[in-house]
Amino acid sequence: MEFDLIELIRTRCAVQRADVRLGIGDDAALLAPPAGHELAVSTDTLVGGVHFPFATSAHDLGWKALAVNLSDLAAMGATPAWSLLALTLPEATREFVAEFIDGYAELAAQHGVALVGGDTTRGPLAIGVTVHGFVAPGRALRRDGAQAGDLVFVTGTLGDAAAGLRCLDRRDTRAQALFNAPPDTRETLVARLNRPTPRVAAGAALRDVASACIDVSDGLLADLGHIAERSGVGIEIDAGALPASSALLTLFEREERLVLQATGGDDYELAFCVPAARAGDVQRDLARIGCGATRIGRVVAGERVRLFDGDGSELVPERSGWDHFA
């Protein structure tokens, strides 16, 4: 059975690359990294009931498992190339695996990512993906280069994925209002949760310009906190500047919306810092590839991330992001 599944996965995820010398089917894949480049490598695991509701469709799961990993490469400004998939399933349903791998393959094809290996095991539902990308030496976007005076930006809109999760949560006290919302509004938010768009092209456009970059996976404030810590700076965010989708504006009042935007996870937008003199260039370059970016704050001397209201008072959200063991 396991070997049938591997064959199913291999045939449905069909991106071919000349730099894959030996793909699925041996003890290891054999890959030929391009000369003169660094390899960016990242791995992320999604656990059923922790990182996604068990009701999530297999197709969405396949997409999302790869998307959250490609988002890490995007945050480094790396060009995606190869992936490995470790699939742990309570039972081997051919239908589940087929739908899962179709979702995975759909996104893989968009970025030319080959699936070169992995494993399938029995156990509680979990998906581990490892991705590899290329970046020229010294040009990767890191977390440790932000400097006081830089401006802080974020791509796209914030809080939609967390709002989508609330739309799915029937225990939510506001569930009635959410269920009564226009279906396409709810669907827009749920799609942001289940089928995030890794900002690969935006990450590439930010190389040589952004002083620091991270993807928003745990929540904006938590993720910017990593930049602040690694760069040895403080970051001040203007609550009123946080970008919101019209769906979020429709369904949530200001205060609730702000918590979702500042602390909701799973957005997979890029948050980045740019020297003030380059800010115009960056916004123009991103607009050219169809990716909006909003200025949301600035880097200061100091050591942590603070969120300010329009009147200058500091806002302290309930929590600053996901801590998987909290």
Asked whether residue 42 is marked as a ligand-binding residue, the answer is yes
Closest CA to 296 of 224, 227, 243: 243
Q: How far is the CB of 155 from a copy of itself (least distance, A)?
A: 14
Nearer to a copy of itself, 145 or 191 (CB): 145
**Residues 65-104 as x/- pattern, contact with a copy of itself by CB under 8 A:** -------xx-xx-x---x-x-x-xx-xx------------
Is 263 in contact with 219 (CB distance < 8 Å)? yes
Q: Is 144 in the site for a copy of itself (CB under 8 A)?
A: yes
- Alpha carbons 87 and 48: distance in angstroms, whole number: 12
Asked whether residue 102 is marked as a ligand-binding residue, the answer is no
- Alpha carbons 245 and 237: distance in angstroms, whole number: 18
Contacts of 221 (CB under 8 A, 6+ apart): 237, 262, 263, 305, 307, 317, 320, 321
Q: How far is the CB of 154 from a copy of itself (least distance, A)?
A: 15
Q: Is 325 in the site for a copy of itself (CB under 8 A)?
A: yes
Helix (H, G, I), strand (E, B) or coil at 303: coil
- Alpha carbons 202 and 269: distance in angstroms, whole number: 10
Q: Is 274 in the site for a copy of itself (CB under 8 A)?
A: no
DSSP H helical segments within 180-276, as ranges? Answer: 183-194, 200-206, 220-231, 246-251, 254-263
Q: Is 53 in the site for a copy of itself (CB under 8 A)?
A: no
Asked whether residue 217 is marked as a ligand-binding residue, the answer is yes
Task: Give the footprint of a copy of itself on residues 28-47 (CB under 8 A).
Answer: 28-33, 35, 38-45, 47
Q: Is 124 in the site for a copy of itself (CB under 8 A)?
A: yes
Among 18, 55, 123, 173, binds a copy of itself (CB under 8 A): 123
- Alpha carbons 222 and 111: distance in angstroms, whole number: 28
Q: How far is the CB of 85 from a copy of itself (least distance, A)?
A: 8
Among 105, 140, 248, 305, binds a copy of itself (CB under 8 A): 140
Nearer to a copy of itself, 92 or 241 (CB): 92
**Residues 191-220 as x/- pattern, contact with a copy of itself by CB under 8 A:** ----------------------xxx-----
Q: Is 145 in the site for a copy of itself (CB under 8 A)?
A: no
Taking the chain, what is the end-to-end CA distance rounded to the nearest angstrom?
A: 38
Neighbours of 53 (CB within 10 A): 13
Is 295 in contact with 279 (CB distance < 8 Å)? yes
Neighbours of 11 (CB within 10 A): 11
Q: How far is the CB of 215 from a copy of itself (least distance, A)?
A: 6
Closest CA to 125 of 174, 37, 56: 56
Task: Give the footprint of a copy of itself on residues 282-321 (CB under 8 A).
Answer: none
Among 281, 303, 309, 323, binds a copy of itself (CB under 8 A): 323
DSSP class of residue 179 equals: H
DSSP class of residue 240 equals: G
Q: What does the radius of gyration of the chain's CA atoms come to, in whole angstroms?
A: 20
Q: Is 48 in the site for a copy of itself (CB under 8 A)?
A: yes
The footprint of a copy of itself (CB under 8 A) covers: 1-2, 5, 21-22, 25-33, 35, 38-45, 47-51, 72-73, 75-76, 78, 82, 84, 86, 88-89, 91-92, 116-124, 126, 128, 130-133, 135, 137, 140, 142-144, 213-215, 230, 323-326
